[in-house]
Amino acid sequence: MGLETRAGYGGTGPGAITPDGCAVELYARLPVGDEPDVIAAAVPGGAHILELGSGVGRMTHPLLDRGFTVTAVDESADMLERVRGARTVRCPIEELDLGETFDVVMLASFLVHAGDVEVRRGLLRTCARHVRPDGCVLIQREGEDYHTNLPRERVDPSGFTLRMLSADPVGDGVDSVRAEYVFPDAVWTQTFLARPLSREQFEEALAEAGLRVDAYLTEDRVWVRAVPAGPGSLSGGRGADARP
């Protein structure tokens, strides 16, 4: 999932770690949560989904189980080796150009908050050029207190603890965020650059790429359905909070 300048990135812990600090074994252990249900409720049944930044297939596999066809894209060969049952493409997201379009393009894992503005623009341009005119783009945003409610800790029912330790400003509106994942038998850390985006800044970034918000899908506005801004896109008011 490596996306931008490596300064400010890093990871520690057992097993292979990608250039942007993502530990392959960690992501293979993390549970999926309710994300596949949110996605399934927001898109047509049986849709072909282009999943950008798929990692080890944490969401890919539940989506396949729900009857979707998935093309999984990631920069890391170590990550893609864990993906089963989906077409896989190894490529940096911002450089991807498959020459085809999809019912749904998905940009999860808060990737839209890339610290480098040009990287973010590249990500959203990739979304826009791969979505059908009548399709949609699903984007996962950071929560409103992601950078401020720190330090915080969450004990997952599956048996690990996630500690969000700090978000230190590094200039130009970007924070260096440090997270720690504590399992009974292993500990991983990850440090990454992230740019907070208000709702208005987020919608402006979409507009720059030729997209608009069709609906905020969750109460916290973390999951968003966007559509091409031109004619032929899905119905729904800009910035609507309606559920699908």
Indicate the burial class of 144 (C-beta count within 10 angstroms; 0-12, 13-18, 19 or more).
Answer: middle
**Which residue range(s) make up the domain with 211?**
23-144+197-228
Residue 54 domain flag: yes
Does any domain span residue 53? yes
Using a CB cutoff of 8 Å and minimum separation of 24, what contacts does 148-156 make? 156/31
CA 61, 64, 65 angle in degrees (round to 5)? 90
150-185 residue pLDDT tens: 999 999 999 999 999 999 999 999 999 999 999 999
pLDDT confidence band for 73 (50 / 70 / 90): very high
Contact between 49 and 107 under an 8 Å Cβ cutoff? The reply is no
Is residue 38 in a domain?
yes
* pLDDT at 243 exceeding the cut of 90: no
The answer to whether residue 203 sits within a structural domain is: yes
Inform me whether the pLDDT recorded for 70 exceeds 70.
Answer: yes
Residue length of the chain: 244
Looking at residue 169, its pLDDT comes to: 96
Positive or negative, the Cα torsion across 144, 146, 148, 150? positive
CA distance 76 to 57: 12
Asked whether residue 182 is domain-assigned, the answer is no
Total of domains in the chain? 1
| Burial class (CB within 10 angstroms; exposed 0-12, middle 13-18, buried 19+) of 7 | exposed
What pLDDT does 9 receive?
Answer: 73
Per residue in 107-137, pLDDT (tens digit) is 999 999 999 999 999 999 999 999 999 999 9
* Residue 7 predicted with pLDDT over 60: no
User: Rounded to an integer, what distance in angstroms lies between the CA atom of residue 26 and that of residue 62?
Assistant: 18
**How much of the chain, in percent, has pLDDT values that exceed 70?**
91
pLDDT of 192 reads 94
Residue 237 has pLDDT above 60, yes or no: no
Alpha-helix residue ranges (DSSP H) falling in 6-142: 24-29, 35-42, 60-65, 77-80, 117-130
CATH number at residue 91: 3.40.50.150
Mean pLDDT calculated for residue range 52-57: 97
Q: How many CB atoms sit inside 10 A of residue 190's CB?
A: 20
Q: Which whole number is the average pLDDT over 52-64?
A: 97
- Tell me whether residue 79 is in a domain: yes
Mean pLDDT of 57-72: 98
pLDDT number for residue 240: 53
Question: Do the beta carbons of residue 14 and residue 25 sit within 8 Å?
Answer: yes
Q: What is the pTM of this model?
A: 0.91
Tell me if 170 is assigned to some domain.
no
What's the pLDDT score for residue 20? Answer: 83
1: pLDDT strictly greater than 60: no
